[in-house]
Structure 1
Amino acid sequence: MISLEDILKNQKDVKVIDSSIDYKNYIAFDLSAKHTDQLNLDLTDSEKFEGFVENHLAENKAKVAFGGYLEHRNLYKRSETFNDKNTDERNIHIGLDLWIKAGTSVLSALDGKIHSFQNNTAFGDYGPTIILEHEIEDVSFYTLYGHLSLESLEGKKEGQFVKEGEKIAELGKPPINGDYAPHLHFQIIKDIQNKKGDYPGVCSVKEVEFYKENCPDPNLLLKITQ
């Protein structure tokens, strides 16, 4: 059987936000712990963080900032959601973030159907989230879209079919989006593990090998960098 990774590589011209923005107008964005510590960046204030994102885009004459797959971040230290006293700290990001203003259209990466959706309201969580289910060459897998607007969940039904490139949501504002600067968390998942409307987007160092296998690099599909 063909692997999911090969299937993702074989797809062409996939966009998950505003299709009018060419990838040449994207710029890489480093939010690793090493980099943010060096900048002495205040990650606890979503307004200041949004200003930092906007400055990065302006300085690089770009429209979208992207990055974060398997990035070790300090961004989550502010939230108990990722720092439960009874578990290992979760600080390895296992999706791809696309940073752009609230209200930007979010698109279905591929043909599929709505698997599930919900508003994950814990501080620092996804906020409104949609998960789609796809099947290509008899291989089933999922894509997750997090940090959406609350309105994005209206009128949705499990099992509802969507087409590649169809608008399924818009990016949300803080605090609805988990209290982050506006962005899309996009993640590919092989085994959803019976979860609905939610799936970990950040893992601990001990879990990284499992999640690296279960959640392939989204750039295999999007091909922002080749």
Structure 2
Amino acid sequence: MNSTTPSSFLSQWTGPALNVIDASIPKSDYIAIDLSKANQDLNTFDVASSSAWEIYMTNYLKAHNKQVAFGGYLETRNLYNRSAYFSAQAETEQRNIHIGLDLWCPANTAVLSCFDGTIHSFNNNTNFGDYGPTIIVKHTINNETFYTLYGHLNEASIANLKVGGTVAQGETIAHLGDASVNGDYAPHLHFQIILDIQDKTGDYPGVCCLNTLAFYKSNTVDPGPILGL
């Protein structure tokens, strides 16, 4: 693969650390969080309850004196077991591997476009455990095209959008939703970098199964280094 392909350009990021939520929050106020099956703390509360999740996240941030908890790229999680939307009979077809980066912080936090781009599509994905309001932005840099997805927004974020509308890097394009609209989660942003959107509109898988992991690893990019995390 040559150095000008999208996957190489983004996976070998050498630019400045970018922001996808309120840029006034310094990166020193971010802290990593493990939501994988290995985290025994997740056995101490009802992971099917969004209010219990919000209490857990609030306490985690308070205990570490931070404002944002982040993580989850390629993390295998049990929390999706609560929703039939992700379930399957065969273990290798169980959708439980997270292929975006989550940033956990309060509802109504500003969401920023990671790069200059145009609105590709948007939708309110209302399945239980889904994204809720979602925006996908198309970007072309160095003649290479890729996409960023912003999920778990509030409904106002997509109320007046127009496909093809331009957005600037760092521009506020949305705000985070609460559990009543965001798929029934504690407030957070699901941020994902996608190379080939595969004709999807307003939606793209953010969780995959073991059988499809190789494809999604090749079609997504770890956002952590790009965000300086």
> Structure 2 residue aligned with 1:218, among 213, 218, 223?
223
1:177 aligns to what? 182
1:71 matched to 2:75:
yes
Q: Gaps spanning 5+ residues in structure 1: where?
A: none
- Aligned-partner SS, 1:34: coil
> Structure 1 residue aligned with 2:60, among 48, 56, 60?
56
1:106 matched to 2:108:
no
1:3 matched to 2:5:
yes
- Aligned-partner SS, 1:48: helix
Matches within 5 A, 1:6-45: 6-8=8-10, 9-36=13-40, 39-45=43-49
What's the TM-score once normalised by structure 2's chain length?
0.94
Identity fraction in percent: 53
Q: 1:36 to 1:152 in 2, by over 3 A?
A: farther
Q: 1:38 to 1:200 in 2, by over 3 A?
A: closer
Q: What's the Cα RMSD here?
A: 1.5
* CA displacement at 1:219 relative to structure 2: 1.2
Runs of 4+ in 1 over 6 A off after TM superposition: none
Following the alignment from structure 1 to structure 2, what is the Cα–Cα distance between the partners of residues 138 and 99? 33
Q: Deviations over 1:160-181 (max 9, x none)?
A: 0000000000000012000000
Q: Deviations over 1:83-111 (max 9, x none)?
A: 14589110000000000000000000000
8 A Cα contact 2:152 2:190, kept in partner:
yes
Following the alignment from structure 1 to structure 2, what is the Cα–Cα distance between the partners of residues 108 and 36? 34
Following the alignment from structure 2 to structure 1, what is the Cα–Cα distance between the partners of residues 84 and 70? 25
1:97 aligns to what? 102
Q: Which moved more, 1:27-36 or 1:37-46?
A: 37-46
1:139 matched to 2:141:
no
* CA displacement at 1:13 relative to structure 2: 3.4
Q: Which amino acid is the alignment partner of residue 52 of structure 1?
A: Y
Following the alignment from structure 1 to structure 2, what is the Cα–Cα distance between the partners of residues 190 and 6? 11
Following the alignment from structure 2 to structure 1, what is the Cα–Cα distance between the partners of residues 15 and 137? 17
Number of aligned residue pairs: 224
Q: Gaps spanning 5+ residues in structure 2: where?
A: none
- Aligned-partner SS, 2:39: helix
What's the TM-score once normalised by structure 1's chain length?
0.95
Following the alignment from structure 1 to structure 2, what is the Cα–Cα distance between the partners of residues 11 and 149? 30
